[in-house]
Chains A and B, each alone.
Chain A
Amino acid sequence: MADLIYNIAAIIALAGIVLSFIRLIIGPTIADRAVALDGMTIISISLIVFIAYYSNRIIYLDVAIVYGLISFVGIVAIARYLERGI
């Protein structure tokens, strides 16, 4: 019962990634695409934690920690470039 609910939750989160990616395709400006990338990153961190518990390997959580730190730097770099200057 609990495993079924976890799987349904993961599929709903996957639908969130797909909706954000549609905005990344049709986004008129660069800021739209950066916002969509930000949303996809946060949902991906949740999916990585789900995969770690789904396959019973706790070492996978380290990937989520690295991911949460590094992707933030990329978004800030894009934003600083948009503001004319890095």
Chain B
Amino acid sequence: MEIFGAVITLIGSIFLLLGGLGILRMPDVYNRMQTGTKATTLGSILFLIGISIGHYECGCLGKIAIIILFIIFTNPISSNTLARAAHFAGIKLTSRSVKDDLKEDDLENKGEEK
């Protein structure tokens, strides 16, 4: 049982490392935001579940569940707010991106108001 939890923890830590590597290597703010949120959320959830499986005899699964719930709720909200702020602050997309839906929606809304 301990080996099983340890292997899950190792998989989660590899996801955390890939999240850090994606933050370093991606070409754009929005790509960095995407890899820095999804990979680290999955990695930290796997890390916490693996540790709580490996040490199941101490009887503190409730606190681990509360921490996982906080991560699931707060991480997408902060990433969404940050992406919206970066878009409206005028930070450019990378030159290889092909589509920007939010900009087209803004242009359509301004056209309707006029």
A–B interface present (Cβ within 8 A): yes
A36–B40 CA distance with the chains assembled, in angstroms: 11
Residues of chain B within 8 A of A46, CB atoms compared: 12-13, 16, 43-44, 47-48
Is the CB–CB distance between B2 and A2 below 8 Å? yes
Residues of chain B within 8 A of A1, CB atoms compared: 3, 6
A-B Cβ contacts below 8 A, count: 171
A31–B19 CA distance with the chains assembled, in angstroms: 17
Interface size class of B (residues with CB under 8 A): 35 or more
- What 1/0 flags go to A11-48 for Cβ under 8 Å of B? 01101111110110000010110111011001101100
- Classify the secondary structure of B's interface with A: helix
Is the CB–CB distance between A5 and B82 below 8 Å? no
A42–B19 CA distance with the chains assembled, in angstroms: 10
Contact pick for B3, options A2, A38, A43, CB 8 Å: A2
B24 sits at the interface (CB 8 A):
yes
Counting chain A CB atoms within 10 Å of each CB, the highest count among B13, B21, B32 belongs to: B13
Is the CB–CB distance between B67 and A39 below 8 Å? no
Is the CB–CB distance between B36 and A35 below 8 Å? yes
Residues of chain A within 8 A of B20, CB atoms compared: 15-20, 39, 43
Is the CB–CB distance between A6 and B9 below 8 Å? yes
Residues of chain B within 8 A of A10, CB atoms compared: 13
A82–B6 CA distance with the chains assembled, in angstroms: 41
Is the CB–CB distance between A13 and B89 below 8 Å? no
Residues of chain A within 8 A of B75, CB atoms compared: 38, 42, 72
Beyond A29-B86, A42-B75, 11 additional pairs, beta carbon < 8 A = A9-B50, A10-B13, A23-B32, A31-B91, A39-B19, A45-B44, A49-B64, A53-B55, A68-B70, A69-B74, A79-B85
